[in-house]
Amino acid sequence: MKYNFDEVVNRSNNFSAKYDERKKKFGTDDLLPLWIADMDFKTAQPIIDALEERARQGIFGYTYRPDSYYEAICNWQEKRNNRTIDKSLISFSPGVVPSMSVLVRELTDSTDYVLIQTPVYSEFYDVVENWGRRVLENPLVEKEGKYTIDFQDLETKLAMRPRLFIFCNPHNPVGRVWSREELKKVVELCIKYGVTIIADEIHSDLILWGNKFTPTVHACDHAGKHIITCLAASKTFNLAGLQASIAIFPNDELKQKFDYVWKGMDILRNNCFSLVATEAAYRYGEEWLSQLILYLEKNMLFIDEYLRENIPDIKFCIPESTYLGWLDCRKLNMSQDGLNEFMIKKAKLGLNSGNTFSRSLEGFMRINAACPRVILKQALDQLRKAVEER
């Protein structure tokens, strides 16, 4: 079927964090929210149909995960990424961030370092620091908007023997799809220094422009023995509110450590809707996803063209993946606090501040482009007007 991503969906009764938490996050409701990473698009119709059918049953008791649930996950990965998964090494979690948090707690001690590559999703800091562990940064190198890995610095940091490396593949917020060659260097260095990788691959289905995503476990021979992969259907199919993800382990020992924590909190099952939605997404959602990606590509081109023609002081490097755009606003010559205030009070936009992705970063913002193009145009028009009036 043909999906209409131009449809503006009224989320005023949706209990949407993106909209209903504006005052809490930005101090005002009077702005256009393009921050938190969910989409303003309805999900695939087969998912909606499956949820409606489940709701009509009228009983919402404790839920068992059937073999078909695991088969849907494994078949999706096999088809799209040529990855064969042992379903006995799959664990449930309410989300990728909770998975990473539990892994940091269970696999590190209070004196340990955990390595991250900045700028990166702000929760990478949180899942380390909330447990009293120390963040070790391997800053990415930016040249003309393109980000690459500083391998010399990476080896220096790995030589400090962090216990874990939380690796974002594809990368949020800079939009890189790491090449097989880059992944091979990363994984081989981690093996050399005995560092376990937690691979956050939640954006791995949102690949733009025909770029090729390589699972981190495919980086080199024996890579899989050193990697825990975190995945979910939530970003791909706009299902974050259903709170379900998986972690894939290299061995049963690590899996049991992870499962023990959730067992201790009696968090063992999907809710009945996340179970149905996840299976429907992976079995029947590919047509919707293909159309979504084409729409996102056009949105990214629209941002790029608009900024070049109307706000040339803000630079935009078209991402290779995700629906998140990374805006370089350094030529506006503002401090980060000044830039945040400008976006909120003058442009009336709710974006993510760049220094949440790297504590020392100045002059960047993240914009969520997963919205109808008319909304995106409104946001950019507001930004243009604010810059012109400044």
Q: In what order do the strands lie in the sheet with 134-137?
A: 90-93, 245-248, 227-231, 196-200, 164-168, 113-116, 134-137
Checking if the pLDDT of 127 tops 90, the result is yes
pLDDT of residue 25: 97
Please tell me whether residues 108 and 21 are part of one structural domain: no
In the listed set 284, 318, 342, which residue is the last one of a domain according to the structure?
284
Would you list the DSSP string of 62-125?
Answer: -----HHHHHHHHHHHHHHH-----GGGEEEES-HHHHHHHHHHHH--TT-EEEE-SS--THHH
Contacts of 310 (CB under 8 A, 6+ apart): 380, 384
CATH number for the domain including 360? 3.90.1150.10
CATH number for the domain including 195? 3.40.640.10
Please tell me whether residues 118 and 220 are part of one structural domain: yes
Please tell me whether residues 306 and 382 are part of one structural domain: yes
Total-model pTM: 0.97
Q: Give me the domain span that covers residue 266.
A: 59-284
In the listed set 257, 284, 311, which residue is the last one of a domain according to the structure?
284
pLDDT of residue 144: 86
Largest pairwise CA distance in the chain: 60
**Please, are residues 265 and 296 in contact by the beta-carbon 8 Å criterion?**
no
**Please, are residues 350 and 26 in contact by the beta-carbon 8 Å criterion?**
yes
Please tell me whether residues 36 and 73 are part of one structural domain: no
**pLDDT tens-place string over residues 351-360:** 999 999 999 9
**pLDDT tens-place string over residues 254-308:** 999 999 999 999 998 999 999 999 999 999 999 999 999 999 999 999 999 999 9
Beta bridge partners of 92: 246
Please tell me whether residues 21 and 76 are part of one structural domain: no
Residue tagged 């097989």 (tokens): 180
Mean per-residue pLDDT for 375-385?
98
| Predicted confidence band of residue 155 (pLDDT cuts 50, 70, 90) | very high
Please tell me whether residues 28 and 173 are part of one structural domain: no
Mean per-residue pLDDT for 59-72?
96
- Average model confidence (pLDDT) for the chain? 97
Backbone angles phi, psi at 245, to 5 degrees: -150, 175
In the listed set 284, 306, 338, which residue is the last one of a domain according to the structure?
284
| Predicted confidence band of residue 239 (pLDDT cuts 50, 70, 90) | very high
pLDDT of residue 111: 93
Tokens at 377, concatenated:
């145009």
Please tell me whether residues 95 and 242 are part of one structural domain: yes
Mean per-residue pLDDT for 71-78?
98
